[in-house]
Amino acid sequence: MSERNGEPRPALWETGRVLKTDRSWRYVTARVITEAFQPPIVVAIMMLLSPAGSPGFPGTLWYGLVAAVFTCGVPFVLLVALVRAGKVTDHHVSDRRQRGPVLGLSLVIVLAGLAVLGLLHAPASVMAMVFALVGGIALLAIVSLAWKISGHAAAITSAAVSLLFLFGPAWWPALILVPVVMWSRLVLRAHTLAQLLAGAVFGGGIVVGLWRGLLAWFG
């Protein structure tokens, strides 16, 4: 894996030269996995299922939908608009220098969603997960000023571990997705192994820990 200034060179498809020089099955498979399990999709699913941590589910599922719209839907639409305007390199925000402003914008939108959910008296599990996401985004923005920690690894790990807490150990196969997604990011040279491992620890430990701690505090 070649690096420049301590960071891996971005995969060719992430810079717009999609698969013009490499059509191997590894790159094609890695790209499909990366797109299918990109953070906005993974976090949206996590938010949609978040009401399961409080009484009333699945009747409270619509609170999760509201959370998904504010935490993933609106920020992703704005990100795509920034990419088309040439303000951001790609929808994975491969350029670390652009991650701080993008995460800052996302944070403002998520805070607005948090206010809406509060007014709607959303279940404690939903509020706790959105608060945990706010903390996660803020920390990622700070780390991204100096280091390109993996958002893909953080998102898929936090989602997989959250499923175990929400629905029990029978959902352990979701953990298999963690190394699969990490493999895809390595193949595409989007991150170093250290950045991926740090992202996994961040998502599965810090973000999920914040969610569980806040949920216990909210009662």
Q: What is the amino acid identity at position 170?
A: A
Q: Would you state the pLDDT for residue 22? A: 62
Q: Which of 212, 102, 211 is nearest to 148 (CA)?
A: 102
Residue extents of the structural domains in the chain: 24-218
Q: Would you state the pLDDT for residue 99? A: 83
Task: Kindly report, residue by residue over 73-99, the tens digit of the pLDDT.
Answer: 999 999 999 999 999 998 888 888 888
Q: Would you state the pLDDT for residue 21? A: 54
Q: Would you state the pLDDT for residue 19? A: 46
Distances (CA, A) of 58 to 50, 105, 117, 173: 10, 31, 17, 22
Q: What DSSP character marks residue 10?
A: P
Q: Which of 51, 44, 100 is nearest to 76 (CA)?
A: 44
Q: Would you state the pLDDT for residue 205? A: 96
Instruction: Give the residues of the chain that fall short of pLDDT 70.
Output: 1-22
pTM comes to 0.84
Q: Would you state the pLDDT for residue 12? A: 44
Instruction: Please state, in angstroms and rounded to a whole number, the distance separating the CA atoms of residues 150 and 158.
Output: 12
Q: What is the amino acid identity at position 35?
A: E
Write the burial class of residue 37 (CB in 10 Å: 0-12 exposed, 13-18 middle, 19+ buried): buried
